[in-house]
Chain A
Amino acid sequence: MSDSIDTASSAAVGLAATVQFSRSELEALCSKAARGAGMSWGMAEEAGYASGWLSGRGIDSTRTLAVYLHLIQEQDWRGSFPVVHEQHWQACSSEQSLCPIVLGATLSDYARVQPMLFEDEGLSMSALFFPHLLLPFLAWVVQDLHRPLYLRVDGHDVCVRVDIGLRVLGDLDALLSIEEASVRISLTGGELIDGQSLPFDEDVAAEQLFSGAVSVLMSDVDSLQQLALLTTVPSSAASRANAGASHSDND
């Protein structure tokens, strides 16, 4: 095994190989996997964006995304789209939970249409998969609002705000561990003292934002690659024949 593939120990998974990915490479892989799992091209790009955004802030979302994408592969993805009402959004299909990528993108789209979306009691959402995948989209929304947003999941409050860079206050670790939950997004929330500060893209130097590569588990990469391969076409004689030059390369 080469040096660039390290052996890392992790309490959760035991001994597992990790591999270094650049952010752009990770975004590309996540986009392809999302497409392979059945998302439209444009929504698959949003999945790539979300993974890249999180990885650039030290949050590895490859595992969650891989798990989620394998899940929707089995389902009708459209059933996980939100039905948009004033104060409460839920999935189209009563059998399904909301897709965090579609929900995030839709929140970003609607935040500019309905600036009052998060006023008063805020916007509540019934069951949502992997709520932390919303963070990259909420980062967009808080820029529009110029006000902090509070994300309440399972009794945990996380605040997304832009002041000196983007800050996420609250128990981020708790948020990351939640697989499925109801969510409320509002302009007010409980008092939060401790928290993590995540740098925001445009406000910090690239080197601060992202020190180099992301270390991801080989098993998660494999899982995403398995889906990404579903976007490819098996080879045929015609396909091979058309791929190269018409002369020999030995000249």
Chain B
Amino acid sequence: MVELTPTDLSRHAPVGLRTPEQVMRLARLGSAHPTRLSFLRILLRRMRREQWQFERTKWEIDSTGVGVAIYKARGPDLTYSLVVFAHDLPDQMRSDRVIATAWDATFTLFDGEPTAADIERLQSNVPLQEAGRISATELILSRANRSVRLFAYVVDCLSQGLQPDAQQLTDVGYLMRTTAVYGTGKFGAAGRRNLENRDHFLGPFQAEMLSVWLTRQFVVDIVEHIAKSRSGEKAVRLAPELRLLLGVGNSTGLGMAPFIVRHPVLLHNWMMVREEALSRVRSCEQASARAIGAMRVSLEAAIHNAAGWRSEHPVQVVKLEQLRADLIRVTEQLNGMDLTAFRPWNTLWLWAEDTLSLEGQEALLSILLEPYGELVDDLSQFLSAKERQSFRLDGAMKVGTLRALLETHYAWALSIDFTQADNTARFWYVSEEKLEPRLGERASEEGAELEQPLCIARFAQSLFDQLKQWEDEMPVANFVLQHPEARLMVRRAQMSARHAYAEIRDNLIAKDMLPIDLLRYKLAFFGASHFDPRSDRWVRISLFQGMPYPDEFKNIPVREIGVE
């Protein structure tokens, strides 16, 4: 009889999750890559599984590219329509910022199929964006601007009967970029609570992703339309392999940053799902020949992606060099490894943690998940959060327990020296002029007294200091009655008991903090690729690049499109 020893048992225990201390740092979050659990991938998988149908039901666009178009997406139960208003925008009016008042195209995702009266109502509101008003029959409000250079070039080529140069398409990556995609209850649109009973929108940002994906079809359609209007039968359509190179661009500034801090439970769920997925793949005891083959394909795809990724921003230029070098090392490591050994992916991962840059490590995470859909895709159901369930403060919690929570989950914050000016150099605020979040310099700019509550590290430390005057046995109810200013932080600290990945464990008001790290982190969860910072607080990305289009969705074999 063979005896089972504790060593044998522990050998088969799942590989533990990376800890919050390790993963919730800005530098690492700012190196995040999209994975198969990114929101746009989840959407495409579901639509394929449920055999959604897509159709362009209206195209009333004139030869200058102005008019209305509608794209219908029909699922098993419900239909949605992307209503597009195409405009003719003079170059001098084109701005990606929220201060813009006109765009090349404006969109809304309509719940159902709009009537003529609906379209008339939307026509007088959607082109105005923030200055208009939509209703609970609309889910999304968005707008996009052309990449002027590439758009004009592609129209020129197609109208002359020529295909554009693939390299030029790759260099930019999109013909139009969205400059805002508003969802969940903004400007009168249906709120999250309205959608909670719709399975297909249970995952985060699924309506936003659907809207952007349909937008991608419109962008190709309008380029071809303008080319054809210009030169009639001489014009050609964009070759399928070339249009695959194009995603929908997106240009994002600080507006996205506060979201991440204000939704700690959601943030926790996103991170837990990703870390659990990595743990599952690392815990695979044997890699099948099929999995090893798929892993090599996945690595090749990552190398290809890194090769086509352009940025001029000094920070990203360095990270891209590291990434490309790291991926070569991963290839070499994979070639030299015994992949039939016990837990080969864990061996590879541990090597990577000691060897690769953060950019390389996070890329490897994405590569490792890719072949293991059967193992990790079910985790997507845990990405949402019912935040209101964690909202109520627990007044009966003892001060000692709260103190312990801070010591456990906020040790990183308690050790920051806030008497150092560099550690309080910035403050987040909302501008009166444009109602957009901005980041100010405390020493030189006015308005620090109106600081937004994003300086969680400082709040945590301040709460910890205040609690020093209080006995362990006192209930939190007594404390918050005396200290109403601490209520927000008490709530967060209580949430952390069950949500260890809820906080970004860095000082968000430090002098050297890079806001683009916050943006990239969220955008990677969306499924964005080709991060191209335009400053330390502004980033462009591409969505759906390399993915199928709605008009070819049902014809493309699954294995070729990278969604299964």
Question: Which residues of A are in contact with B by a Cβ distance under 8 Å?
Answer: 2-5, 19-25, 39-43, 45-46, 49, 56, 78, 81-82, 84, 102, 105-106, 108-113, 140, 201-202, 205-207, 209-210, 212-213, 229, 231-236, 238-240, 242-247, 249-251
Contacts and interface: CB of A to CB of B under 8 A. Distances in A.
Nearest to B452: A231
B484 A42 contact: yes
8 contacts: A19-B188, A21-B188, A42-B487, A43-B484, A113-B478, A229-B432, A236-B446, A249-B97
A46 to B, nearest CB: 8
Nearest to B459: A41
Interface string B503-539: 0000000000000000000000000000000110110
Q: Which of A22, A56, A213, A250 has the most CB of B within 10 A?
A: A22
A233 B185 contact: no
B221 interface: no
B188 A4 contact: yes
Nearest to B96: A249
B484 A246 contact: no
A45 B491 contact: yes
A1 to B, nearest CB: 9
B396 A113 contact: yes
B431 A206 contact: no
A106 B477 contact: yes
Contacts of A247: 534
Given A42-B486, A84-B481, A109-B395, A242 B190 contact: no
Given A232-B432, A242-B440, A243-B436, A2 B124 contact: yes
Given A40-B485, A206-B193, A20 B133 contact: yes
Given A109-B480, A112-B477, A239-B431, 17 more contacts: A22-B136, A22-B190, A25-B187, A40-B487, A42-B490, A45-B487, A82-B481, A84-B481, A102-B484, A108-B393, A201-B388, A205-B197, A207-B197, A243-B99, A243-B254, A245-B253, A250-B148
B97 A244 contact: yes
Top 6 closest pairs, chain A to chain B, by CB? A42-B487, A109-B395, A22-B185, A233-B447, A212-B136, A42-B488
A231 B450 contact: yes
Given A24-B192, A106-B477, A245 B538 contact: yes
A172 B488 CA distance: 31
- By size class, the interface of chain B is 35 or more
Given A19-B188, A25-B191, A232-B432, A113 B475 contact: yes
B86 to A, nearest CB: 18
B435 interface: yes
Given A233-B440, A234-B433, A250 B97 contact: no
Given A110-B477, A235-B431, A5 B392 contact: no
B100 to A, nearest CB: 9
Contacts of A25: 185-188, 191
B134 A4 contact: yes
B350 to A, nearest CB: 39
Contacts of A24: 184-185, 191-193
A22 B191 contact: yes
B194 to A, nearest CB: 6
B139 to A, nearest CB: 11
Contacts of B197: 205-207
Contacts of A106: 477, 481
Given A21-B188, A22-B188, A111 B395 contact: yes
A12 to B, nearest CB: 24
A206 B194 contact: yes
B508 to A, nearest CB: 15
Nearest to A247: B534
Contact of B393 (A5, A82, A109): A109
B444 A238 contact: yes
A19 B133 contact: yes
A245 to B, nearest CB: 4
Contact of B431 (A56, A111, A210, A243): A243
Q: Which of A42, A106, A113 has the most CB of B within 10 A?
A: A42
B148 A251 contact: yes
A78 B481 CA distance: 10
Contact of A235 (B193, B395, B432, B487): B432
A113 B477 contact: yes
A56 B185 CA distance: 13
Given A20-B188, A201-B388, A233-B432, A41 B196 contact: no
